[in-house]
Amino acid sequence: MQAIIDIAGLAKSYKSGFQALKSVDLQIGEGEIFALLGPNGAGKTTLISIVCGIVRATAGRVTVAGHDVVREYRAARAAIGLVPQELTVDAFAKVADTVAYSRGLFRKGRDTAHVEHVLKELSLFDKRDSMVMALSGGMKRRVMIAKALAHEPRILFLDEPTAGVDVELRRDMWAMIRRLRDTGVTVILTTHYIEEAEEMADRVGVIRRGEIILVEEKAALMRKLGRKQLTVQLRRPLVALPGELAPFDLERSANGLALTYTFDAQAADTGIAGLMRQLAACGLDVVDLQTRQSSLEDIFVSLVSEAS
């Protein structure tokens, strides 16, 4: 993996003395979609802000496309488009003007074709002559994305892009992020919606109290930490679990018609064969079987609670 962002030993203490980041090391590969997950106040925004040049690091080093973000800030920043968490747009500007403004800041002349393309992609083209303040919140968020994409960045940071956004816009955004990835853009997003990371990300990082506690390929993560559940549907309700089944730590549904067995999919012996034999030995009639892989959300919750 060719790292487009390289973060080493990054630390940040705010003036209040609060340490928001404690020696973070992280590499982002070119062209990947990286999801940064973490509870409120974990340091996600702080991390992004340092990479983008909005916040100064207390210690450590960040390079973007090989350029140090402090010493070679021009080259580093030129590669980045940022959609911040807060909805901050110039309310009194026209949509097309504010997008063109962003393009100008990044040393690009007025390329109306590109701006038009971005506006269309985000369904803003009809609103191009409207004042930003006359748009709905979701539309304003689209404007912010359009601004970030105006200069054709190689890297796009989305800080909680789908907070307060309806299902449709969220889908649109996911589709747009995929299209961007297809054109080679690296996307880093922070989110509280784990389904988003699960749906979108190639890799997932989990940050907690200013420390990266895990970085993993999403698929590997799901495999490694993924617990599977086997649900057995019974023909007749079971009032109480027979003692022979106790070692399997089964969960009985309220109506007694389903038993759930949780197992480690990676284990040499998953215990399923033994369970099936015991069920038969107890004379329980099985009508159906389902297995379910635990979601990233389960993994995340268990990680964050484990670490606390």
Partner 1 sequence: MNIPAVRAIFVSEMARWFRTISQSLIAPVISTSLYFVVFGSAIGSRMSEVDGVGYAAFLVPGLAMLSILTQSLSNAAFGIYITKWSGTIYELLSAPVSWVEAVTGYVGAAAAKSVLLGLVIILTARLFVSFEIVHPVWMVAFLLLTAVTFSLFGFAIGIWAGNFEQLQIVPLLVVTPLTFLGGSFYSVKMLPPFWQKVTLLNPVVYLVSGFRWSFYGRGDVAVGVSLAMALVFLAICLAVISWIFKTGYKLKN
**Given 8, 55, 163, 272, the residue binding partner 1 (CB under 8 A):** 55
Count other C-beta atoms under 10 Å from residue 7's C-beta: 23
The smaller minimum CB distance to partner 1, of residues 14 and 171, is found at 14
Q: Which stretch binds partner 1 (CB under 8 A): 23-31, 76-84, 198-206, 251-259?
A: 76-84
CB 302 within 8 A of CB 295: no
Residues that bind ligand ATP (rule: CB under 6 A) add up to a total of: 13
Q: Is residue 85 part of the contact set for ligand ATP (CB under 6 A)?
A: yes
Whole-number Å distance between alpha carbons of 187 and 160: 12
Quick one: which segment of 5-13, 82-90, 104-112, 224-232 binds Mg ion (CB under 5 A)? 82-90
DSSP designation for 43: S
Choose between 85 and 262: whose C-beta lies nearer to Mg ion.
85
Q: How far is the CB of 65 from partner 1 (least distance, A)?
A: 12
Answer yes or no: are the C-beta atoms of 148 and 156 closer than 8 Å: yes
Cβ–Cβ < 8 Å for 206, 37? yes
- What are the residues whose beta carbons fall under 8 Å from the beta carbon of 13, sequence distance 6 or more? 19, 20, 58
Using rule CB under 6 A, residue 191 touches ligand ATP: no
The bridge status of strand 67-68 relative to strand 59-64 is: antiparallel
Instruction: Return the residue matching tokens 């010493």.
Output: 71
The conformation of residue 94, written as its DSSP 8-state character, comes to: B
List 23, 58, 85, 229, residue binding Mg ion (CB under 5 A): 85
- Ranked by CB distance to Mg ion, the top (closest) residue is 45
At which residue do the structure tokens 């500007």 appear? 93
Q: Which stretch binds partner 1 (CB under 8 A): 28-36, 107-115, 233-241, 267-275?
A: 107-115
23 near Mg ion (CB under 5 A):
no
Q: Which two tokens stand for residue 184?
A: 């080679």
For partner 1, the binding residues (CB under 8 A) are 14-15, 52-56, 73-78, 80, 82, 84, 86, 88-93, 97-98, 100-109, 147
Residues that bind ligand ATP (CB under 6 A): 14, 16, 18, 20, 38, 40-46, 85
